[in-house]
Structure 1
Amino acid sequence: MPRRRRGTPKHMRVGFPEAMSVFGDPFEVTIPDPDHSEGEARFLSLGLSEAGRLLVVAYTEREGKIRIITAREATSRERRNYESGK
């Protein structure tokens, strides 16, 4: 019997190209993430990916480049905030 892979289900995984596409969303919202900014400024962006998924992308900037830390699908609360323009 094959072993089950644990972790995030395949349909919920976010690849680097899709995460980067959030920055092309004209309604993308970015806020500072001081709770996770030890030694470097970190940010959270909420936006629609090119695949049509609403994502939260945590990132930092180094040498003028965006460095993605993690990306995930938005929660229902985050989705409501995005849709209401908050």
Structure 2
Amino acid sequence: MPLLFDWDPAKAASNLVKHGVAFDEAMTVFRDPLALSVLDPDSADEERWITLGSAATGNLLLVVHTWADIGRHRTVVRIISARRPTRNEAQRYREEPPT
């Protein structure tokens, strides 16, 4: 299923300043066959997901995003934030098999 990507340009700019991660890099995490995606338990307003995976650059990244099915077997991923994972998050990626 082809993925399309969307984000708020102002949020992307502030994320780059705050976390040093560009959303262009973050979107490549979704190509990682070993990426882990879980529902964000802290999101009350909307269904947000957390995906942890390797970007095309080789950097391990944690990406907060939403999914939206737009028909014709297409999905839009709206990136909300992206950062490098904590030590514990990175360890989980290395130890947990993909589902």
Give the TM-score normalised by the residue count of structure 1.
0.79
Task: Give, in whole Å, the separation in 1 of the partners of 2:85 and 2:60.
Answer: 6
Tell me by how many angstroms 1:34 deviates. Answer: 3.0
Query: Root-mean-square deviation (CA), in Å?
Result: 1.6
2:55 aligned residue:
49
Tell me by how many angstroms 1:61 deviates. Answer: 2.1
In the alignment, does 2:80 pair up with 1:69? yes
1:3 aligned residue:
none
1:19 aligned residue:
26
Segments of structure 2 that go 5 or more residues without pairing to the other structure are 1-16
Segments of structure 1 that go 5 or more residues without pairing to the other structure are 1-6
Q: Number of aligned pairs?
A: 76
Which has the greater radius of gyration? 1
Instruction: Give CA-to-partner distance per residue, 1:9-42, whole Å, 9 cap, x none.
Output: xxx511111100000001000000131141x210
2:5 aligned residue:
none
